[in-house]
Amino acid sequence: MTFTDPAAPSADTAQQELISALVRASFATTAVLSRVAAEHDLSLTQLRVLAILRDRRVRLSDLADYLGLDKSTISGLVDRAEKRGLLQRAPNPADGRATDVFLTAEGMQLADLGEGKIARSLSPMTGKLTRAETIRLTALLEHVLKQKGP
Partner DNA sequence: TATTGTTATACTCTATAACTATA
Partner DNA sequence: TATAGTTATAGAGTATAACAATA
Q: Which residues bind DNA (CB under 7 A)?
A: 42-43, 45-46, 59-61, 64, 67-80, 89, 92, 95-100
Q: Which residue, 38 or 90, has its beta carbon nearer to a copy of itself?
A: 38
Of the candidates 42, 64, 57, 60, the residue with the CA atom closest to the CA atom of residue 118: 42
Mark the segment that binds a copy of itself (CB under 8 A) among 71-79, 83-91, 99-107, 122-130.
122-130
Q: Which residues of 105-129 are buried (b: 16+ CB within 10 A; e: fewer)?
A: eebbebbeebeebbeebeeeeeeee
CA dihedral 74, 22, 26, 66 (to 10 degrees): -20
Choose the contact partner of 78 out of a copy of itself, DNA, none; CB within 5 to 8 A by kind: DNA
Distance of CA 6 to the CA centre of its chain: 40
Choose the contact partner of 71 out of DNA, a copy of itself, none; CB within 5 to 8 A by kind: DNA
Q: Which residue, 17 or 70, has its beta carbon nearer to DNA?
A: 70
Nearest distance from residue 79's CB to DNA, in Å? 7
Report the C-alpha gap between 111 and 132 in whole angstroms: 29
Among 68, 93, 96, 150, binds a copy of itself (CB under 8 A): 68
Nearest distance from residue 63's CB to a copy of itself, in Å? 14
Choose the contact partner of 53 out of DNA, a copy of itself, none; CB within 5 to 8 A by kind: none
- Cβ proximity of 104 and 88 under 8 Å: yes
- Cβ proximity of 66 and 52 under 8 Å: yes
